[in-house]
Structure 1
Amino acid sequence: TVAETASDQPQLEPEKSKTYKLSKKLAELISQFSACGRCSYFLTGYRVIHGVENMETAVSRSKSGWLKLTWNHAMRDLLSKSYGVQFNVDYLHFDGCCPECGRHYTYQMNEQSEAAVLRMEVRRRRR
């Protein structure tokens, strides 16, 4: 019978998901950035460059509504493509905002070490 042949076949276990489950805080951050095309592009690019785990760390360490993001040379190009700024690596400090939603970001070169810091507002500004 059909029931007997179905029970004779080995049961396949569902394949474990290889996708990374986002934390609630990171999912909220993504939804806040997705309201703006430029900021959404920036956040997606950051995720490609640095990975989801790095984003999780940035979200968990955010203070007073600001994300402290990892900086490298690829970030300079990402800022330029996302927000249309001509960013010079010789800058010690640079403030800018998204022309679409007004979200602020700040680049600060740390004079004591080579690690520069990019901070970005979590919530966009109302216009």
Structure 2
Amino acid sequence: MSGHPAADPAHRSAALAADYESSRDHLVRVAYAILGSRAEAEDVVSDVWLRLVAADRRDPVLDVEAWATVAVARAALDALRSARVRREVYTGPWLPEPVLGSWPPAGEPTPVRTRPTGSPWTTRWGTPCSSSWRP
């Protein structure tokens, strides 16, 4: 939003929301680049919206995208630091969530698991799975 803040609070709120919504994709990308999780990135962007509204009431924000980008980056770094503390206890791998298109990829067969009689599971090729493998 450029220029001076609007005098009408309803108009100001609508303009602020429109500016934030137009920057939302950019903000989610910034948070995702830091956090590696789309869900956490969406949470950070939503939290920053509440901070923006509160900050705008105190002192009008003239450049919503710039203010929000800095706030999202800082909030994402804070979330990452707190996540690291939580993850120190976890022993498994922490990989970023992939942003998937369609599943399965075009041209690939869909993996199928079946339950034939006498076997708990079979692989997608129809061979039985066994939990008691012996050499």
Query: So what's the TM-score if we normalise by structure 2?
Result: 0.27
When you count strand as a share of all residues, which structure comes out higher?
1
Which one has a larger percent helix, Structure 1 or Structure 2?
A: 2
Query: Computing the radius of gyration over CA atoms, which structure comes out larger, 1 or 2?
Result: 2
